[in-house]
Each structure stands twice: as structure tokens, then as C-alpha cells.
């Protein structure tokens, strides 16, 4: 058997290639949209990808099932309870999929979503202990899938949490302790609240250490997994729906269109939003008015999807040579309306200094001096609730960055506003959103709450 995990750090997302060496037949599970790595690895191993299995309709990324099907002729498969706009194979509970010696057993494991499934992998049909189980968003390392994302479309979070408990206890936990667990996400994903940095484990280890599996009864389990979940980024509902629809395919090798300043300005005047992927440090020194700063070195797609509407055109600003990467990373969450990028942005701003603006950033020490000299300051903590619970700067208004656009009415755009996060990445995103929406005096704290805590001592 050939078994490969592909882990995408910027989305904390895992996908899998499973192949049978005796037949050359292979399956990909939960692929990302830029599919080159799967095609290259399958070709080098002499494998033919004939099936793409989706464990559920993903909310946090746009999956690559259509791209893989177009490139290989593979079937697309979902749980039998899933409905898609495109042709798809319906996998029944306990159905076996044979690749030759390698066999896959499909388990319906609803709870995170109604159509969630898991895939048990056997190296040989008669093995008493499976090689592993691909659990999608049903069971993570250290956590379980959140049951609240589908609550707005016919299911309450408690109903899905009840299903999640039954799926885990009746379908997954009966598997042997030695069974490896391969989830669809790891630490940093908004699909759970306590995900481990480990990308795989065993059922026995999870049985011993996973807080949700240690719940003594269903009621306790439901209470544990429905409380304290991080805010879902705004694009989640968009992607969950789009994953079941026909759509255009991504060409991951095609660069976006290069725009001179005049063409760039025309796109902005027509309604395009500027997404500047340079680091907060570089952005603060020089950027174009109206730009939203989401640095490519961080969780670019996730935070762009949190603050950029799904229905607008996008023009990119990046360091030279990173335009295609920025386009592809936005495409991973279904943001395909990239109409181009500003060619040679540093040169443009040097030639047109009247177009370049600076963003105010302050150190933690600067913040202390600032608060003594200005009587009224609006302080905003854009971290998630779990982070805020462990401590915040006195007087801060907690508004997670993903909720900022929806909660602008809670803030006064006429007041001097200071934004902070944990380390300075999210605060630059949030501060740029506030400037774009009319806040005239906005700064963010370099190093965020961590720097403030250290400076206090």
C-alpha cells in the first residue's frame, strides 16, 4: 500500500493519497484545489487516481474534487445522504471499496455535518486491525468536530452533537486501539477548539487523552463540544454550499493579470478590493489607500476570507514573484474573483509618493505613554474568545477579527482606536479594515498582547 498525507499548514488541512501497488489503483481523500502534488506523486508511483472521496461538504476550504475528476477521469464520491450538482457516487454505510489488496470501508459518521463519513483503511481484506481510519472532521487529534456550523440549515447544534456522540461511540471507538487516526485538520483550524499539533495518532491514545472522548455520558459530551467554539470565519457558509455545486476549475499554474497603476485604479474604481499580502511591517511603511493587509506569511486565505466579502472583485499587491501563490491561496477558499495584481508595487509607490500611505503601529511601551496623554482611547482586542479569557489589556473591547465587519456599529469611528491581537498579524488585518471603513485614527500594537504582557513585567 502507498499511503501519503498532505498537510497544508496555512489552512491546517490534511488530505490523503491511498494506492494499491499490486493494481496501481488509487484514491484521494479530501483534496485541496491545487492538485499538482497528487498528480505528480501518483505518476511517480505508477498509480492511477480513480476515485475522489469527500468526507463531507467542507466549510473551511474549497475542495479539489472537480479539478481531480477533470484531470484524471476519477469518480467523485460522497456519503449516500449528500446531494451534489455534479455526478457523484453515493457511498453506503459499511460499503467496501476495493483497490485490489487494499480495501476501504466507509462509515457514515454524521455529527459535524449530516453527511460526514469516515474511511477505514485495510492493507489486506482479512486484516483484524485496520491500518488506519480517515476521520474527516468527526474526530481530531485532541478534539472532535464542532457541531454548530450546520445549525442554521435545519439542524440545531445539540442535534448534531448528539449524532456526533453516536458516530464516535458506535462507529469509531469499536475499532482496535492500534488503529491510526488521520483527521482532516490540525491545530489552528476553526473546525474545533482544542486541536493538537500532531497530524495523526491512534484510537487508543485518543481514548486515553481526548477530552471529548473522556466525557462520562452523552449529556456531558454535548455540553463540552457545544461550548467555547471559536467564531467561524465569514466564508465558511459560502464554501460549504459551493463544495456541492458545479463551478469553474482552478488552473493553479496560470498567473493573475499584471496591471499597471492606471489599470489597477480602474479596477478599484469599478469596485475591486485591494488585498495587500505583504508583511505588516512593510505594509505599514507604504501602501495604497483602501488596502486590506493580510500577510502571505500567515493564515492568508483564512483571514482574507474573514474580512473580504465573497461577492467582490479582488486586486492583489504582493512582493514580486508571489502573485500566483496569492491567487492560488485565495482560490483554496473559493475566492476566484482576482482580476489582477499591481505590477512592481514598490517601484509604483516610489514613483508616486503621493499615492503611498503609512499605517500607524506602536510598541507596547508607546501604548503606555499614549494612554496617559490621550484621555479617551478606543481599545479593541481582535483575538478569539478563548484567548481573551486567559487575559486582556484593561479596557479592551473584545471583537474577533472575523466578526469585525459585522460589529463595526459597536465602535465609534471618530475616536482614536488602538487594535491588538496575540502577536501583531491579525491586528494589522483589523486596523486596515477599520481604516478602509472610515476610521480616521487607527493604530495597532506591535507584538500584540504578548508584548504588552512582557512590558508590564
Q: Domain holding 236: CATH number?
A: 3.60.15.10
- Using the 3D structure, point to which of 211, 242, 273 is the last residue of a domain: 242
| 177 and 154 in a common domain | yes
| 332 and 217 in a common domain | no
For each successive 10 residues of the chain (457 residues), what is the average pLDDT? 96 97 98 98 98 96 98 98 97 98 98 96 95 97 88 77 96 98 90 85 97 96 86 88 97 97 98 98 96 96 95 97 98 98 96 95 90 84 92 96 94 96 97 96 96 83
| 425 and 392 in a common domain | yes
Kindly report the backbone phi and psi dihedral angles of residue 3, in degrees, each rounded to the nearest multiple of 5, phi listed first. Answer: -135, 125
| 311 and 175 in a common domain | no
Task: Report how many domains make up the chain.
Answer: 3
Within 13 Å and on the Cβ side, how many CA atoms surround 131? 17
Where in the sequence is the domain holding 424, given as residue range(s)?
Answer: 361-456
pLDDT of residue 153: 65
| 431 and 314 in a common domain | no
Please report whether residue 430 resides in a domain: yes
| 187 and 45 in a common domain | yes
| 171 and 232 in a common domain | yes
Residue 155 CB contacts under 8 Å (≥ 6 apart), including other chains: 114
Please report whether residue 61 resides in a domain: yes
According to DSSP, residue 353 is labeled: G
CATH code of the domain in which 397 resides: 3.40.250.10
Please report whether residue 248 resides in a domain: no
| 237 and 126 in a common domain | yes
* Paired sense of beta strands 287-288 and 89-91, if any: unpaired
- Using the 3D structure, point to which of 357, 380, 413 is the last residue of a domain: 357
- Using the 3D structure, point to which of 357, 384, 401 is the last residue of a domain: 357
| 347 and 390 in a common domain | no
The shares of helix, strand and coil residues in the chain, as percent rounded to the nearest 5, are 35, 20, 45
| CA dist list (Å): 229 to 29, 148, 164 | 26, 9, 15
| 379 and 314 in a common domain | no
Q: And the C-alpha cell for 111?
A: 455529527
Contact 302, 10 (CB under 8 A): yes
Q: How many residues does the chain have?
A: 457
Please report whether residue 85 resides in a domain: yes
pLDDT of residue 151: 55
| 421 and 282 in a common domain | no
pLDDT of residue 189: 82
pLDDT of residue 456: 73
According to DSSP, residue 86 is labeled: S
Question: What order of strands is seen across the sheet that includes strand 360-362?
Answer: 360-362, 442-445, 417-420, 378-381, 397-398
DSSP annotation string for 246-267: --PPP-TTPPPPEE-HHHHHHH
| 271 and 178 in a common domain | no
Amino acid at each position: 500500500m502507498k499511503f501519503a498525507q498532505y498537510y497544508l499548514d496555512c489552512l491546517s488541512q490534511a488530505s490523503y493519497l491511498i494506492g494499491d501497488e499490486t493494481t496501481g489503483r488509487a484514491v484521494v481523500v479530501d483534496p485541496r484545489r491545487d492538485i499538482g502534488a497528487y498528480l505528480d506523486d501518483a505518476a511517480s508511483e505508477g498509480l492511477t487516481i480513480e476515485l475522489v472521496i469527500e468526507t463531507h461538504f467542507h466549510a473551511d476550504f474549497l475542495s479539489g474534487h472537480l479539478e481531480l475528476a477533470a484531470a484524471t477521469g476519477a469518480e467523485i464520491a460522497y456519503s449516500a445522504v449528500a446531494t451534489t450538482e455534479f455526478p457523484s457516487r453515493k457511498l453506503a454505510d459499511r460499503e467496501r471499496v476495493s483497490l485490489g489488496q487494499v480495501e476501504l470501508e466507509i462509515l457514515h459518521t454524521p455529527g459535524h455535518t449530516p453527511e460526514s463519513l469516515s474511511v477505514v483503511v485495510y492493507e489486506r481484506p482479512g486484516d483484524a486491525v485496520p491500518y488506519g481510519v480517515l476521520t474527516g472532521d468527526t474526530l481530531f487529534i485532541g478534539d472532535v468536530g464542532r457541531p454548530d456550523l450546520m445549525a442554521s440549515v435545519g439542524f440545531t447544534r445539540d442535534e448534531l452533537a448528539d449524532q456526533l456522540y453516536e458516530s464516535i461511540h458506535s462507529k469509531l471507538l469499536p475499532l482496535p486501539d492500534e488503529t491510526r487516526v488521520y483527521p482532516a485538520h490540525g491545530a489552528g483550524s476553526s473546525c474545533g477548539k482544542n486541536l493538537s499539533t500532531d497530524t495523526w495518532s491512534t484510537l487508543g491514545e485518543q481514548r486515553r487523552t481526548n477530552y471529548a472522548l473522556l466525557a462520562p455520558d452523552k449529556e456531558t459530551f454535548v455540553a463540552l463540544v457545544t461550548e467555547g467554539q471559536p467564531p467561524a470565519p465569514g466564508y465558511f457558509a459560502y464554501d460549504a454550499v459551493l463544495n456541492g455545486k458545479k463551478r469553474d476549475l482552478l488552473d493553479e499554474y496560470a498567473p493573475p493579470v499584471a496591471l499597471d497603476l492606471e489599470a489597477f485604479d480602474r479596477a478599484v474604481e469599478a469596485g475591486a478590493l485591494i488585498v495587500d499580502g505583504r508583511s505588516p511591517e512593510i505594509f505599514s511603511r507604504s501602501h495604497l489607500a483602501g488596502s486590506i493587509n493580510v500577510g502571505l506569511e500567515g493564515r492568508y486565505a483564512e483571514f482574507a476570507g474573514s474580512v473580504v466579502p465573497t461577492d467582490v472583485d479582488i486586486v492583489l499587491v504582493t512582493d514580486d514573484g508571489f502573485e500566483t501563490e496569492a491567487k492560488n491561496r485565495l482560490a483554496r477558499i473559493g475566492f476566484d474573483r482576482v482580476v489582477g495584481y499591481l505590477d512592481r508595487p514598490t517601484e509604483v509607490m516610489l514613483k508616486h509618493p503621493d499615492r503611498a500611505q503609512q499605517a500607524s503601529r506602536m510598541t507596547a511601551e508607546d501604548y503606555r505613554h499614549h494612554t496617559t496623554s490621550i484621555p479617551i482611547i478606543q481599545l479593541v482586542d481582535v483575538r478569539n474568545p478563548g484567548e481573551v479569557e486567559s487575559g486582556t489589556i484593561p479596557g479592551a473591547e473584545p471583537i474577533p477579527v472575523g466578526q469585525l465587519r459585522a460589529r463595526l456599529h459597536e465602535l465609534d469611528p471618530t475616536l482614536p482606536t488602538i487594535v491588538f491581537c496575540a502577536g501583531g498579524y491579525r491586528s494589522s488585518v483589523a486596523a486596515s479594515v477599520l481604516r478602509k471603513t472610515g476610521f480616521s485614527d487607527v493604530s495597532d500594537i506591535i507584538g500584540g498582547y504578548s508584548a504588552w504582557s512582557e512590558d508590564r513585567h
